[in-house]
Amino acid sequence: MASTTLTRLLKPLLLPLSSGDHFIDPPVVLAPMAGITNAPFRTLCRQQGAGLFVSEMVTARALIERRPETLRMIVPGKDEWPRSVQLYSVDSTTMRAAVTMIGRENLADHIDMNFGCPVPKVTRKGGGAALPYKRRLFSNIVAAAVEAAKPFGIPVTVKMRIGIDSDHHTYLEAAQSAADLGVVWVALHARTAAQMYEGKSDWSAIARLVEHLKPNGVPVLGNGDIWSGRDALNMVQETGCAGVVVGRGCLGRPWLFSDLVSTLQGSDKELTPTLYQVREVMFHHANLIVEYLESEDRGMRDMRKHMAWYLKGFRVPHEIRHDLGMVCSLVEMRGLLDRLEDQPYPVEVGDKPRGRTSHGRPPTLPDGWLDDPDELVHVELEDAFSGG
**pLDDT tens figures, 368-381:** 999 988 877 666 65
Gyration radius from the chain CA atoms? 20
**pLDDT band at residue 354 under the 50/70/90 scheme:** low
Phi, psi of 343 (to 5 degrees): -160, 160
Bridge partners (DSSP) listed for residue 9: none
Contacts of 381 by beta carbon, 8 Å cutoff, 6+ apart: 61, 90, 91, 94, 125
Residue 2: the pLDDT is: 38
Residue 268 confidence (pLDDT):
79
316, part of any domain = yes
Claim to verify: residue 210 and residue 328 sit in the same structural domain: no
User: Mean pLDDT score of the chain, rounded to an integer?
Assistant: 91
Domain residues for 156?
A: 3-264
- Confidence tier at 9 by pLDDT (50, 70, 90): low
**Is the same domain home to 298 and 239?**
no
Q: Are residues 250 and 309 in the same domain?
A: no
In a domain, 385, yes or no: no
355 within domain boundaries: no
Q: What angle do CA 238, 242, 243 make, to 5 degrees?
A: 90
Say whether both 143 and 228 belong to one domain.
yes
- Which of the listed residues 244, 264, 284 is the one where a domain comes to its end? 264
Give rounded-to-5 percent helix, strand, coil for the chain: 45, 15, 40
294 is a domain residue: yes
Residue 199, SS3 per DSSP? coil
Q: Compute CA distances 23 → 268, 282, 375, whole Å.
A: 24, 30, 39
pLDDT confidence band for 26 (50 / 70 / 90): confident
CA distance linking residue 377 with residue 140, whole number of Å: 11
pLDDT of residue 198: 87
How many folded domains does the chain comprise?
Answer: 2
- Write down the pLDDT at residue 321: 96
Last residue of a domain, one of 347, 366, 382: 347
Regarding whether 251 and 288 lie in a shared domain, the answer is: no
Helix (H, G, I), strand (E, B) or coil at 360: coil
CATH number for the domain harbouring residue 169: 3.20.20.70
Q: Which of 48-52, 158-162, 240-244 is least confident?
A: 48-52
Q: Is residue 116 part of a domain?
A: yes
Phi, psi of 114 (to 5 degrees): -90, 115
Domain boundary among 264, 292, 317: 264
Q: What is the DSSP string of 272-328?
A: ---HHHHHHHHHHHHHHHHHHHT-HHHHHHHHHHHHHHHHTTS---HHHHHHHTT--
Amino acid, single-letter form, for residue 246: V
Contact present, 101 and 70 (Cβ < 8 Å): no
Q: Which pLDDT belongs to residue 267?
A: 81
Reply yes or no on whether the pLDDT at 129 is more than 60.
Answer: yes
254 and 286 share a domain? no
Q: Would strands 28-30 and 220-223 be described as parallel, antiparallel, or unpaired?
A: unpaired
The pLDDT score that the predictor gives to residue 375 is 78
Overall pTM surpassing 0.75 (yes/no): yes
In a domain, 375, yes or no: no
Question: What percent of the chain clears pLDDT 90, i.e. is strictly above it?
Answer: 80
Residue 139 lies in a domain: yes
Q: What would the pLDDT profile of 255-267 be if each residue is shown by its tens digit?
A: 999 999 888 888 8
Indicate if 233 and 333 belong to the same structural domain. Answer: no
The number of beta carbons lying within 10 Å of the beta carbon of residue 312 is 17
pLDDT beyond 80 at 337: yes
103 and 161, same domain (yes or no)? yes
Q: Which pLDDT belongs to residue 380?
A: 61
Residue 196 CA to residue 388 CA, distance in Å, equals 12
The reply to whether 353 falls in a domain is no
Same domain, 302 and 195: no
Question: What confidence score (pLDDT) does residue 356 get?
Answer: 60
Cβ proximity of 265 and 233 under 8 Å: no
Please say if the pLDDT value at position 197 is more than 70: yes
Cα–Cα distance measured from residue 296 to residue 329, given in angstroms and rounded to the nearest whole number: 6
Q: Sort strands 84-88 and 110-115 into parallel, antiparallel or unpaired.
A: parallel
pLDDT tens digits for 34-63? Answer: 889 999 999 999 999 889 999 999 999 999
Q: Per-residue confidence at 294, pLDDT binned at 50, 70, 90?
A: very high
Catalytic residue check, 117:
yes
Contact 56, 36 (CB under 8 A): yes
Q: Among 79, 31, 73, 77, which residue's Cα sits nearest to residue 52?
A: 31
Q: Are residues 224 and 123 in the same domain?
A: yes
242 shares its domain with 324: no
Q: Are residues 245 and 29 in contact, defined by beta-carbon separation less than 8 angstroms? A: yes
Write down the catalytic residue from 117, 241, 250, 328: 117
Contact call for residues 224 and 190 (beta carbons, < 8 A) = yes
Q: Which pLDDT tens digit goes with each residue over 88-99?
A: 999 999 999 999
Helices 330-338/275-293 angle, 10° precision:
180
Whether residue 286 sits in one domain with residue 141? no
Q: Could you give the CA distance from residue 111 to residue 314 in angstroms, rounded to a whole number?
A: 38
